[in-house]
Amino acid sequence: MKLTIKGLTKTYPNGVQALKNINLEIKNGLFGLLGPNGAGKSSLMRTIATLQNADSGNIFLDDLNVLEDKEEVKKILGYLPQEFGVYPNISAQELLTHLALLKGVHIKKERDEVVKSLLMQTNLYEVRNKNLGGFSGGMKQRFGIAQALIGNPKIIIADEPTAGLDPTERNRFLNLLSEISEQVIVILSTHIVEDVKELCSQMAIINKGEVMFSGHPAEAIKQVQGKIWMCQVDKPTARELMIKYNVISQKFNTGLIELHVWSEEPLNHHFAIAQPVLEDVYFSVLNGNLKP
């Protein structure tokens, strides 16, 4: 399977240009979509999930025209929205069974099996008869994951799936996804760089509606190799350095501030060359240092 996005553009009625000429090619496996809040990740994902139309451009899933033939896409789609609610007065099991039938799982026995297995996988089996209204944020999120996986979708779109999950659950889920992604396309959006680093074989960074980078994470890191410099200083120094240098990120580390700086020229003084990680790529892109 291959998802091809070409020239996808979308402007909202309020004038916000959410997608600017997006071109991507996504193959089976886990695809990570990185970007800050408001970058257009959700818009892109909703468009692939047939929930939103584009102004121009097209999306093909192999030969299937996603923007035209929505019904067909929906048959092989699993979608987990970034924000969603549930019917409060119904249990997880009931709702999953309901959704399973609507997804076309027409044999009752299979339906029951798949629901049971999903409830197990998402660790909701014990609370399967509880009303969804009483679910905590994490439980609800797991429920969302479960519903997205009903009926062996060929393409799974998960918008910020790990938000609200505790580390154990997060691992568990990512593990689940990577397992599944061997045969299908899984698109996963996040602003947590680690998620992508750990799992994704393909990724893209988008910002302000544009694809800033796309490719393999390792390839991305290669691009900034030798251009990221770091130092650990106290606050006043950090303030000074931030004016002088092209600081892409800063974080506290044992009372000092660790600065990462983009520079194609070698830096001396406080700085040492950093072994770049995906985060550095991400911030370089956001800072505008790494251009597509």
Give the interface with other proteins as residue ranges (CB under 8 A): 13, 46, 49-53, 71, 74-75, 77, 79, 81, 83-90, 98-107, 110-111, 113-114, 117-118, 120-121, 123, 126-127, 133-134, 136, 138-139, 144, 147, 149-152, 168-169, 171-172, 175-176, 179-180
Distance CA 50, CA 252 (A): 42
By beta-carbon proximity to other proteins, the closer residue of 107 and 272 is: 107
DSSP classification of residue 125: G
Distance CA 179, CA 246 (A): 40
By beta-carbon proximity to other proteins, the closer residue of 149 and 224 is: 149
By beta-carbon proximity to other proteins, the closer residue of 113 and 219 is: 113
CB of 260 to other proteins, least distance (A): 33
CB of 237 to other proteins, least distance (A): 37
CB of 187 to other proteins, least distance (A): 13
CB-based contacts of 233, cutoff 8 Å, min separation 6: 241, 256, 257, 259, 270
Element (H, E) at 291: none
By beta-carbon proximity to other proteins, the closer residue of 23 and 136 is: 136
By beta-carbon proximity to other proteins, the closer residue of 74 and 270 is: 74
CB of 48 to other proteins, least distance (A): 10
> Going by DSSP bridges, is the β-strand pair 185-190/155-159 parallel, antiparallel, or unpaired?
parallel
CB-based contacts of 16, cutoff 8 Å, min separation 6: none
Phi, psi of 57 (to 5 degrees): 95, 175
